[in-house]
Amino acid sequence: MPEAIRVLVTGAAGQIAYSLMQSIANGSVFGKDQPVVLVLLDITPMMGVLDGVVMELHDSAHPTLKEVIGTDKEEVAFKDLDVAILVGSMPRKEGMERKDLLKANVKIFKSQGAALDKYSKKTVRVVVVGNPANTNCLTALRSAPSIPKENFSCLTRLDHNRALAQIALRLGVSSGDVKNVIIWGNHSSTQYPDASHASVNIEGKESSALDAVKDDSWIKGDFISTVQQRGAAVIKARKLSSAMSAAKAICDHVRDIWFGTPEGQFVSMGVISDGNPYGVPEGLLYSFPVTIKDKTWKIVEGLKIDAFSREKMDLTAKELQEEKDTAFEFLSA
């Protein structure tokens, strides 16, 4: 058996974490032979609830779960981490301005970034889920200067999976038959779900998604808006935000970081835009198509970008730039 890895989940008393932990504990993310110490962080008023979660994890009797630690202290939570999954954030409350929301989250992710810097392994892989996920990830990255920027990413895999599913539903195939959709930009309604590089396997025959769908107006219209608005649609129906699908997407994202992406496939992930990839301004945490090998992502190069895509990619970059500017005012304050 290899040495146990330490994996932190924040927002651990919340609904996404509740759906997520079984998969981490049962070996579906890091492998059936990889022991895991699961560290769970939430805020002090949630410690009673967190006790219940810890009890349930013990009661699940997973052979790969070496230890469970529930805490409200950052110095305990961030110690010697191999993986940090930052789910907890300040939710938008009624009457709250976007600026106030950003300010509250800068405070949380500045503090957690500093804790990563101080207590975690320099090899730690950090995945930010809590919204606004891209900008929270950028804040944490900025606050952890001793950890390589490439170790940080934010979750846009749920949007990616939603895009796969919409194409699969349209064609009557399974999501596993569709690959290489792209989510560009922000995990918000300005994101650009792009099917123009996707392919589909229908009865053993591979073709481009555009040729298989044969409906350009759907690809450029309802497909995009359905994926962009899917989170809101789930809230409207369930009266709660996506949790099961979000947890599944986190597992997909972290598993791909750990084991790499399959040959010939890329996935979407928010990463730093250093080097101006696809004309996206430097220093944004922007979702790109990536491949992953040896726990290191690489942005897919050379994809053709037409005028329609360009406009949508720029629009979501503009929103991220504005979020960044506001967040960094608070960061340096």
CB closer to ligand NAX, 42 vs 82: 42
Residue of 4, 69, 76, 243 that binds ligand NAX (CB under 6 A): 243
- Residue 91 touches ligand NAX, criterion: CB under 6 A: yes
CA-CA-CA-CA dihedral for 4, 247, 174, 293, to nearest 10: -40
As given in the structure block, the two tokens for residue 277 are 């990839």
d(CA 175, CA 123): 33
CA dist 270 → 203, 215, 285, 288 (Å): 33, 29, 6, 6
- Please report the sign of the dihedral spanned by the C-alpha atoms of residue 230, residue 234, residue 237, residue 240: negative
CB closer to ligand NAX, 23 vs 34: 23
Segment contacting ligand NAX (CB under 6 A): 58-66, 129-137, 221-229, 300-308? Answer: 129-137
Q: How far is the CB of 175 from ligand NAX (least distance, A)?
A: 17
CB closer to ligand NAX, 21 vs 87: 87
CB closer to ligand NAX, 104 vs 303: 104
Q: Which residues contact 36 (CB under 8 A, 6 or more apart)?
A: 4, 5, 6, 7, 24, 25, 30, 64, 65, 66
- Residue 261 touches ligand NAX, criterion: CB under 6 A: no
Q: Which of 58, 62, 160, 187 is catalytic?
A: 187
Residues 9-38 that bind ligand NAX (CB under 6 A): 10-11, 13-17
Burial (CB count within 10 angstroms: exposed 0-12, middle 13-18, buried 19+), residue 190: middle
- Residue 188 touches ligand NAX, criterion: CB under 6 A: no
178 CA to centre of own chain: 20
- Residue 169 touches ligand NAX, criterion: CB under 6 A: no
DSSP 139-163: HHHHT-TTS-GGGEEE--HHHHHHH
Residues 31-70 that bind ligand NAX (CB under 6 A): 41-43, 46
Residue of 88, 113, 185, 193 that binds ligand NAX (CB under 6 A): 88
d(CA 333, CA 319): 22
Residue of 23, 241, 296, 321 that binds ligand NAX (CB under 6 A): 241
CA-CA-CA-CA dihedral for 117, 120, 121, 123, to nearest 10: -70
CB closer to ligand NAX, 114 vs 243: 243
Q: Which amino acid is at 192?
A: Y
Our answer to whether residue 187 is catalytic in this structure is yes
Q: How far is the CB of 303 from ligand NAX (least distance, A)?
A: 23
Residues 137-156 that bind ligand NAX (CB under 6 A): 155
d(CA 190, CA 276): 20
Q: How far is the CB of 263 from ligand NAX (least distance, A)?
A: 26
Q: Are 116 and 96 in contact (CB under 8 A)?
A: no
Q: How far is the CB of 95 from ligand NAX (least distance, A)?
A: 18
CA-CA-CA-CA dihedral for 281, 285, 286, 290, to nearest 10: 110
- Residue 89 touches ligand NAX, criterion: CB under 6 A: yes
CB closer to ligand NAX, 167 vs 249: 249
Q: Which amino acid is at 97?
A: E
Residues 205-234 that bind ligand NAX (CB under 6 A): none
Provide the annotated active-site residues.
Answer: 187
Contacts with ligand NAX, residue ranges (CB under 6 A): 10-11, 13-17, 41-43, 46, 87-91, 108, 129-131, 133, 155, 158, 187, 241-243, 246
